[in-house]
Structure formats: structure tokens, C-alpha cells
């Protein structure tokens, strides 16, 4: 009797906060991966900086017509990372740039995930000619060289953040779609999906209630890695001059530095910080993504 009681109380304890238990288990496993923790710390730091930047950076310090610093001068006490050609503080530009860069990266990733997961689940669930057609479209997009496609898209849609975001999303959803389709096929072969079908669940019910929760961890992992790719693409496209010159992003800083001769002037303080910032944040996303991947699916560890 007492044994039964213990069992039932355990059952109760486990049943109510089941999800949080899973999260706790995940967090415990994640904590044992120093690289993942380091990556996450970097991301939190940059996110925090990006969020609080408006509290200590005013438009007057970023508006080229209002600043009065020395032009392209080396780092000094007042300007820890020197100044740009217009006399703006490179440190402030760097912090402000993280806002736009991260925003473009995250929105593009969200778009990627929505498009990729949607197409992947639909293709995997329906199979037949719908699935084949969708996968052929995906293959077609995989075969297209992504940088020229992104450049042409940005040129057609007009320049600026919106078109760059769309261009990144349009070129990077294919990997997610492929992954999600494979996982959908695997999930749908499991008995509980068959049970749901036998109980009369429709297509929508199965895709949203049965498949989606089971592919979400995979989507999560793939999206952390996609943010890294999107950040790099954003920097590439803006560096190539497809951004808006009035906005401040890391890619735009590199573009300004490069095309106005900062190389020749040996203005390393103008070139290095945005480059390193991109490197560190991309590394942060990659480390976090890998760690999450390994925690969720320990089998992947050997392969990498």
C-alpha cells in the first residue's frame, strides 16, 4: 500500500511540471558543456548591450552632422576605439550596430524557420506528388548559388534592411525544409501518430499537434545555426553596398571603412572591431547551437 502511495505521489509530482522537468534536465546537461555556456554568455552580453544601447547612446552621437570628433583618429582615452571618417566614436557605432545586425539576423532566421518548417512538414506529411513537388522546388533553391541570388533579390526589391532580410530568408530556408521533412517522415511512422489517425485526427491536427512538437527541438537547433549564417550574409550583403548608407550595422561599418580607404590609412581600429564583433557573435550562436544539438541528441557528438 505504502509502496503504491509513494508511486502515485511520484507520478503526481512528475505529471504536473513535466515540461519544466524536461527544461531542467536540459539545463543541467547544457551546464556541463563549457563551450555552449561561453557561447550563450557572449550572446546574452551582446543582446543586453543591444537592448540598453538607447539608454546611453543618443542620436546626436550617431548623426554625422552633429558629431565633432577628430576625423579617423586612432584610439585614445576619449575614443577607446578611435573615430570614423565623419568623427563618430567607433565604440558607439559598434554597440549601436549590434542592434540592427542582430535584428536582421533574428528576423531573417524567424522567416527561414517559418518557411522551412512549413514546407518541410507539409512535404513530409502529404508525401505523394505534393511532397515531391515541394522537394523539387527546395532542390531547385539549393542548386541556386545563394550569394548572387541574394544580390539580385536585394537589387530587385530595392536596397535596405527589409530587402536584405527577405533575401537572406529566401536563400537559407532550404536546409531547414530538408531537415524538417526527414524528421516528419520519422515521426509519422511512430505508433502514436497512427493512434491519432485511428481516433479520427485530421491532417491539420496531426501536423500541428503530433508532428510539430516533435520536430521543434530540431528546428530550434537548426535556427541557432541559421542566425549565425544570416548574420554573416547580412554583413556580406551590406559590405557589398546593398544596405542603406544611413543605417548603422556591422556590415555597413566595414563597407564604409573599406571603400573610403581605411586599409591604406592603416585605420585598423575602424576595420577590426566590426569584423571581430561579427566573428564573436557568429561563434556564440554556433557554440550555443552545437551544445543544444548535442544535449538533445547525444548521438551527434561523435560525428562532430
The residues binding other proteins (CB under 8 A) are 63-66, 71-72, 85-87, 151, 155, 158-160, 239-246, 255-256, 258-267
Q: Which is closer to other proteins, CB of 47 or CB of 159? A: 159
**CA of 137: how far to CAs of 2, 143, 144, 167, 230, in Å?**
61, 10, 11, 17, 21
* Shortest distance, position 275 Cβ to other proteins, whole Å: 15
> Which of 243, 284 has the CB closer to other proteins?
243
Q: Which is nearer to other proteins, 110 or 151 (CB)?
A: 151
Grid coordinates in use for 284? 556564440
Min dist CB 240 to other proteins, Å, is 6
Smallest gap from Cβ 109 to other proteins, in A, equals: 24
Q: 154 vs 287, which CB is nearer to other proteins?
A: 154
**For other proteins, the closer CB: 173 or 239:** 239
For residue 246, what are the CA distances in angstroms to 87, 122, 152, 195? Answer: 15, 41, 21, 57
Asked if 293 and 300 count as a contact pair (C-beta separation under 8 A), the reply is: yes
Grid coordinates in use for 153?
A: 533579390
Q: How far is the CB of 83 from other proteins (least distance, A)?
A: 11
213 or 245: CB nearest other proteins: 245
Q: Is 49 exposed, middle or buried (0-12, 13-18, 19+ CB in 10 A)?
A: middle
d(CA 218, CA 179): 8
Shortest CB 100 distance to other proteins, Å: 14
> Least Å distance between CB 72 and other proteins?
7
Alpha-carbon distance of 96 to 101, in angstroms, equals 9
| Alpha helix (H) residue ranges in 127-211 | 128-143, 146-157, 161-188, 191-198, 203-205
- Nearest approach, Cβ of 88 to other proteins (angstroms)? 10
Nearer to other proteins among residue 98 and residue 255 (C-beta): 255
What does DSSP assign to residue 32? T
d(CA 304, CA 290): 9
Round to whole Å and give the CA distance between 171 and 236: 14
Closer to other proteins by CB, 160 or 217: give it: 160
We find the least distance from the C-beta atom of residue 157 to other proteins, in angstroms, to be 12
DSSP 228-249: HHHHHHHHHHHHTT-S-TTS--
Asked whether the beta carbons of 55 and 104 are under 8 A apart, the reply is no
| Residue 82 dihedral angles phi and psi, to the nearest 5° | 75, -170
Amino acid at each position: 500500500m505504502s509502496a503504491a502511495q509513494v508511486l502515485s505521489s511520484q507520478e503526481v509530482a512528475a505529471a504536473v511540471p513535466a515540461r519544466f522537468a524536461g527544461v531542467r534536465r536540459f539545463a543541467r546537461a547544457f551546464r556541463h558543456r563549457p563551450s555552449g555556456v561561453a557561447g550563450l554568455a557572449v550572446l546574452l552580453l551582446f543582446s543586453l548591450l543591444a537592448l540598453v544601447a538607447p539608454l546611453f547612446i543618443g542620436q546626436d552621437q550617431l548623426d554625422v552632422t552633429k558629431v565633432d570628433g577628430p576625423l579617423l583618429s586612432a584610439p585614445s582615452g576619449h575614443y577607446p576605439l578611435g573615430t570614423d571618417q565623419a568623427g563618430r566614436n567607433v565604440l558607439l557605432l559598434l554597440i549601436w550596430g549590434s542592434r540592427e545586425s542582430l535584428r536582421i539576423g533574428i528576423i531573417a532566421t524567424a522567416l527561414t524557420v517559418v518557411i522551412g518548417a512549413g514546407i518541410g512538414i507539409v512535404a513530409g506529411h502529404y508525401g505523394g506528388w505534393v511532397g515531391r513537388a515541394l522537394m523539387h522546388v527546395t532542390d531547385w533553391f539549393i542548386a541556386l548559388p545563394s550569394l548572387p541570388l541574394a544580390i539580385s533579390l536585394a537589387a530587385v526589391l530595392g536596397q535596405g534592411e527589409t530587402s536584405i532580410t527577405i533575401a537572406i530568408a529566401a536563400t537559407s530556408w532550404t536546409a531547414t525544409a530538408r531537415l524538417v521533412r526527414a524528421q516528419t517522415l520519422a515521426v509519422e511512422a511512430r505508433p502514436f501518430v497512427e493512434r491519432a489517425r485511428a481516433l479520427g485526427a485530421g491532417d491539420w491536427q496531426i501536423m500541428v499537434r503530433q508532428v510539430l512538437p516533435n520536430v521543434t527541438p530540431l528546428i530550434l537547433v537548426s535556427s541557432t545555426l541559421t542566425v549565425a549564417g544570416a548574420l554573416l550574409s547580412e554583413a556580406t550583403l551590406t559590405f557589398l553596398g546593398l544596405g542603406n548608407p544611413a543605417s548603422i550595422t556591422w556590415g555597413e561599418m566595414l563597407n564604409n571603412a573599406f571603400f573610403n580607404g581605411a586599409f591604406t590609412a592603416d585605420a585598423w581600429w575602424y576595420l577590426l572591431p566590426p569584423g571581430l564583433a561579427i566573428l564573436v557573435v557568429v561563434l556564440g550562436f554556433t557554440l550555443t547551437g552545437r551544445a543544444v544539438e548535442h544535449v538533445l541528441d547525444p548521438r551527434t557528438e561523435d560525428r562532430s
